[in-house]
Structure 1
């Protein structure tokens, strides 16, 4: 009998522990506690005569009490909200970041620059276009200065042997770098002119000046002249050397020569507050 009571007590304790696990159930506090087994503890030494009818009824009553709770209530109390996974842009960005992390940890450096392949292709195409444009400009410059502006080597022109020889020697000078493009033939002719006598050279120079003056007047009449284009109408044989800028600070007035500062008359008048134009106007007024 004592063993049966012990089993019932363990079963009751297990049932209470099982009920306490469902904290969301409001009626768990109404469960009646079974009477303690302290009065039966004195009969532990007596013989066990099996499970009698009273113990079976008590066990049945306890099971009936537990059966009052439906399975649905237990499931409802123990259920949790489902885990919802939203497949949206942040998920894709995460995968992209993961891919970038893999590329960063990759031992191959080329993988890090895989995103810039398209940009490099665009820049390479742009560079090739610029290079081809520069080459075409250089080719056009050569054609203009050797074929279009100077058609001496053209087979359509009926040139004498001397003229054709001068044109050919001028192209040779241009290719060797001794003369600029389009000016080789002129340099050859100038060298020949220098071999002539003084009177002939002076006559040629005066005639050339007249031609340059006529071309300048024609350009001004047609409206094709500009002060910046003045050097195109000047003598090509006279080459102006670029002025070298002296380093350091310079005087704002006068110039040094031989260790002394030399001032012109206009600069002196400018210091005194009197310009040369005012002087001239006064002189003309007195007359």
Structure 2
């Protein structure tokens, strides 16, 4: 009888301790500030309590990681808005200034010069809005792409012909070398053309020489020489980020959206677009190489 009473008493004490422990854990979760780094400890020995505490702490770790990621995305979005505001304001203010000077000028030639400059600023603004529209479309989850085998070499040739005046102005002659002239990628033709056009446009704006486009196996590479200074400023890991520009002053033409559009379209078609710097031994040999290939 004494043994039975002892067992009952021990069970009752243990149950009371566990109830108190559960209440303590519930109070910890209820009163814990959302931004706190505190984790749940165990005051009552036992495998069940430790297992429960580990599970709760794992969930708290996951929630904290999600919160940190959300904060980082918010900060990135705020930086992007600041960059966009700068890019929008600059050409508008420039156009406004030139129009005001044209209205105040007394010489017709001066007025014409200022109006021409204002039109150029407005054209830059139109280009930025076009890129914003393209970026929004590329990231539209409701957009459908018509995937089919697309012959890449004729499409590349078509894009290069469209940029012929710009190449001629620079005295550049791009090279195209395909191991297989019938090479195809499973893609939407319009989207793939946009990717190629954006890569060629990037080479024209920031390159130091004619680009070389080559196909080996299932990969197509777009390579162009760049200056050592440009190579030092470029971060390949950020090259496809929206609004990224290696020039922090943002004084060069371009929105920083062209490569982001290309990356978004590539992902939508299950293609992989990557960038790397190829450093040569001699001055002027640095090259920016972008590769397009099917995702693994």
Q: What is the TM-score when the length of structure 1 is the normalising length?
A: 0.25
Task: Give 1 or 2 for the bigger CA radius of gyration.
Answer: 1
Query: Where is the strand percentage greater, Structure 1 or Structure 2?
Result: 2
**Structure in which a larger fraction of residues adopt helix:** 1
- In the superposition, the TM-score normalised over structure 2's length comes to 0.24
More RCO (CA 8 Å, sep 6+): 2
